[in-house]
Amino acid sequence: MEAEERDAGSDRTPGSVSDPARDPARDSVRDSVDDHVARWLPVLPGLDPDIEGAVTRMQKITVRLRRFRERSLVDFALDRHEFDTLHQLIARGGKAAPSDLAADLDLAPASVTGRLDALERRGFVRRAPSTTDRRRVNVEVTEEGRATWLGAMDVVGHEEYRLLGTLSSDERRQLSDLLRRVMRAAEHPPEHPPERKRE
């Protein structure tokens, strides 16, 4: 099937792999992705409904959380680049050299300088001479900057806890472990990926 063929209810095009036996008990509780998979099964008889369902659900949940984050940035009058810069700064304990932030954000130093200038004007960060090297300047998050970042984070965090709170603690641990295995495969792709079959 060509990559251009897409389901109207999803931004993902199914891949074709072997179809395992299904558990009828799972049909007792359905969601919108079940309908998506059901539409594609007659089109791609070799479709693995569990792979398609898992990937599509991960995509939809990610999109939902991204929308919550964007909404929270609007509520706290933060631009995305301001939030990202505060996020990386706080991840370093609230204090860092501009060069470190540039590396974390994968930006040129001049771009980070512009971001820090804007954050400093808003009172979210301050610059201070390094205590170990007077030639260097460190950037520190202010209480107002930390509170603004935390407020934006809380909106997303609440939704994350609401969604994953439908699972027990053991189920959440199991889910995290399973996704870790998938993530490791993503981080270590095969050296010689299989060639795509020509139509």
- Cβ proximity of 156 and 65 under 8 Å: yes
At residue 29, the pLDDT reads 84
Evaluate if residue 169 carries a pLDDT over 90.
Answer: yes
Evaluate if residue 107 carries a pLDDT over 50.
Answer: yes
Q: If DSSP codes are grouped into helix, strand and coil, which group holds residue 124? A: coil
At residue 95, the pLDDT reads 94
- Cβ proximity of 98 and 136 under 8 Å: no
Residue 12 banded pLDDT, cuts 50, 70, 90: low
Higher-pLDDT residue of 132 and 93 is 93
Higher-pLDDT residue of 192 and 171 is 171
Report the run of H or E that residue 80 belongs to, with start and end.
Answer: helix 80-91
Lowest mean pLDDT: which of 17-26, 52-61, 160-169?
Answer: 17-26
Report the run of H or E that residue 96 belongs to, with start and end.
Answer: strand 95-96
> Distance between CA 49 and CA 55 in Å, rounded?
10
- Cβ proximity of 91 and 100 under 8 Å: no
- Cβ proximity of 175 and 167 under 8 Å: yes
How does pLDDT run across 71-83, given as a tens digit for each residue? 999 999 999 999 9
At residue 190, the pLDDT reads 85
At residue 6, the pLDDT reads 41
> Distance between CA 152 and CA 3 in Å, rounded?
37
Query: Which two structure tokens, joined as six digits, stand for 31?
Result: 């969601």
